């Protein structure tokens, strides 16, 4: 199905949802729920949080469906809401996460011998977690989830240029954090 046809179908579904057709709502939900859920999971790293964020995003979207004017694709509109819900939700659990991270670091004993892959994976995860919130969000949306800078800009209410700058900063920080691994790959 091409994009135009999909948009027409979605417009029809949205009209039916507005008219009270629950089945149409379910179709709309089925068409988008996976991507929203995976995004929420990527950003939160927790299944139960991803579920909460996804539910909240759809609840907000459906309750505000009258505000959707069809100027952008429904998916873009929905993802803007989802990103907002996820970021707000993450703010609420951030304090707890920070405390947990401090405890993790306190009990972690640095090891001299590294097993490249598992260690690198773990280090990369920590490095991504340690990125400033804006950088991390843009990095995950762009490099992991495949959003364009325009889509990111729309979702985060920043310009595409700012999104690019944040991505650049994120990558530079990741390289810097993992610089001590560089030699191993060169000699592989």
Partner 1 sequence: MTDTQWNDDDPMDARLRDLANEYNRPTGVVPREAMWQAIAPTVRAAAQAPDIAPAGTPSITRKRRTIAPFAWSTALAAGLVLGIMLEREVLAPRGGTVDTTPRGADSRQVATTTPIPMSGATVVAKAPDRTTQVATTNTPQVERRGARATATNESAPATGSTTTDIGANAQQLYRLAARQTLVQAEALLTAYRASDDQPRDQESMQQAGRWARDVLTSTRLLLDSPAANDPQMRALFTDLELVLAQIVQLSGAPLQAGERELIERAMRDRDLLPRLRSAVPAGATAD
Residues at the contact surface with partner 1, assessed by CB under 8 A: 17-22, 25-26, 29-30, 33-34, 37-38, 41-45, 47, 50-51, 54-56, 58-60, 62-63, 65-66, 120-121, 124-125, 128, 139-140, 143-144, 164, 167-169, 171-172, 174-175, 178, 181-182, 185-186, 188
Nearer to partner 1, 3 or 177 (CB): 177
**Cβ partners under 8 Å of residue 85, min gap 6:** 53, 56, 57, 60
SS3 at position 113: coil
Nearer to partner 1, 156 or 174 (CB): 174
DSSP state of 112: S
Q: What torsion, rounded to 10 degrees, do the Cα atoms 97, 144, 165, 127 define?
A: 40
Q: How far is the CB of 2 from partner 1 (least distance, A)?
A: 25
Nearer to partner 1, 4 or 180 (CB): 180
d(C-alpha 80, C-alpha 152), whole Å? 8
Nearer to partner 1, 9 or 21 (CB): 21
d(C-alpha 94, C-alpha 170), whole Å? 19
């Amino acid at each position: 199905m091409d994009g135009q046809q999909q948009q027409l179908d979605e417009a029809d579904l949205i009209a039916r949802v507005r008219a009270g057709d629950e089945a149409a709502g379910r179709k709309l939900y089925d068409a988008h729920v996976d991507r929203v859920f995976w995004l929420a999971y990527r950003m939160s790293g927790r299944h139960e949080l991803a579920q909460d964020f996804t539910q909240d995003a759809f609840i907000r979207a459906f309750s505000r469906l009258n505000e959707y004017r069809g100027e952008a694709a429904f998916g873009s509109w929905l993802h803007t809401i989802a990103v907002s819900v996820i970021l707000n939700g993450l703010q609420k659990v951030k304090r707890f996460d920070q405390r947990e991270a401090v405890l993790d670091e306190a009990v972690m004993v640095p090891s001299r011998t590294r097993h490249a892959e598992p260690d690198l994976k773990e280090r990369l995860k920590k490095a991504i977690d340690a990125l400033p919130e804006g950088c991390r969000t843009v990095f995950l949306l762009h490099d992991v989830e495949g959003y364009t800078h325009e889509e990111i800009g729309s979702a985060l209410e920043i310009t595409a240029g700012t999104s690019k700058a944040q991505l650049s900063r994120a990558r530079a920080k990741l390289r810097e954090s993992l610089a001590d691994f560089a030699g191993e790959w060169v000699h592989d």
